[in-house]
Amino acid sequence: MAITRIILLFCTFASLSLMSSAQTCKNYKFSSKIGFNSCADLPVLQAHLHWNYNSTAETVHIAYRANQIPRGWISWGINPTGSGMVGTQALVAFQDLNGKMKVYTTQINSYSPEMKPKPLSFSVSELSAEYVNDEMIISAVLGPLSNGTTFNIVWQAGNAVSNGIPQSHPHYGPYIRSSGTLDFLSL
C-alpha cells in the first residue's frame, strides 16, 4: 500500500513538473533575432503560431512551429475562400534524406492533395524552415492580404515523406480538428 502511494505521488509530481515546463508561445525564444508581437498556442498537434501584422502593407510575418519527428512534415496555411482544408494556401516543411530542411508553398484543392510545390494566390517572401529541439519551424512573410485581417487557418502534420513529397496525414482525432479562425490584429 505504501509503495502504491509513493508511486502515485511520484507520478503526480512528475506530471505537474512536465506541465509547468511545457513550452507555450508566450515564453518561446527564437534562435534568430526576430521577435513576434502576437502568438497563439493552437489547440491540437502541439503547434504554435507567432506573427507580426503590418497594417500599412497588409502583410503578416508568421512563424509556425510544431513538434515533429525528423522524417515527418508540417504544414500551415490560410484558407481565403472557406473553412477547413480544401482551398487552403499552405506552407509545407520537412527534412530531406540528408537532414536539410525543405520548405515550399502548395495549394490544397482536395482531400487527397498532391502536396507538390505550387504558387499561392498571394505573395510569399522570406520563406524558410528549421528543425530545432524536436520542432519544425516555418517562417514567411505573407501578403499583401487584401481580404481583411481575419482568416480561416489550417495546420497539419504527417509522419511520412516519399520521394520528396509529404504523404497523407492520419484522418482522426486532432488531425481533423486542426483548423480555426484567427484575427491578425489580436494579441
Cβ atoms of 60 and 53 within 8 Å: the answer is yes
| Strand arrangement of the beta sheet that strand 179-183 belongs to | 101-108, 88-95, 73-79, 150-158, 179-183
Instruction: Give pLDDT tens digits for 97-122.
Output: 888 999 999 998 888 788 899 999 99
Looking at residue 70, the DSSP 8-state letter turns out to be T
Whole-angstrom Cα distance, residue 3 to residue 17?
A: 21
Q: Which of 169, 102, 96 is nearest to 130 (CA)?
A: 102
Whole-angstrom Cα distance, residue 139 to residue 119?
A: 16
The pair phi, psi for residue 130, each rounded to 5°, is -145, 160
Cβ atoms of 37 and 187 within 8 Å: the answer is yes
**Strand, coil or helix: 80:** coil
* Mean pLDDT, range 9-17, rounded to an integer: 33
Where does the pLDDT of residue 170 fall: very low under 50, low under 70, confident under 90, or very high at 90 and above?
low
- Residue 172 has what pLDDT? 66
- Residue 112 has what pLDDT? 78
Instruction: Give pLDDT tens digits for 20-53.
Output: 335 688 888 887 777 899 999 999 989 999 999 9
- Residue 187 has what pLDDT? 64
Q: Which three cell numbers stand for residue 130?
A: 528549421
What domains can be seen in the chain, in order of their start residue?
38-183 (2.60.40.1210)
- Residue 32 has what pLDDT? 74
**Strand, coil or helix: 13:** helix
- Residue 17 has what pLDDT? 32
Q: Which three cell numbers stand for residue 180?
A: 480555426
pLDDT at 132 over 80: yes
- Residue 94 has what pLDDT? 92
* Mean pLDDT, range 144-158, rounded to an integer: 90
Looking at residue 83, the DSSP 8-state letter turns out to be S
Lowest mean pLDDT among 50-54, 55-59, 105-109, 175-179: 175-179
Residue 15 Cα distances to 1, 4, 10, angstroms: 21, 16, 9
pLDDT at 82 over 60: yes
Average pLDDT, the chain: 82
- Residue 128 has what pLDDT? 96
Q: Is the peptide bond before 170 cis (omega within 30 degrees of 0)?
A: no
Q: Which of 75, 91, 98 is nearest to 159 (CA)?
A: 75
Whole-angstrom Cα distance, residue 107 to residue 114?
A: 9
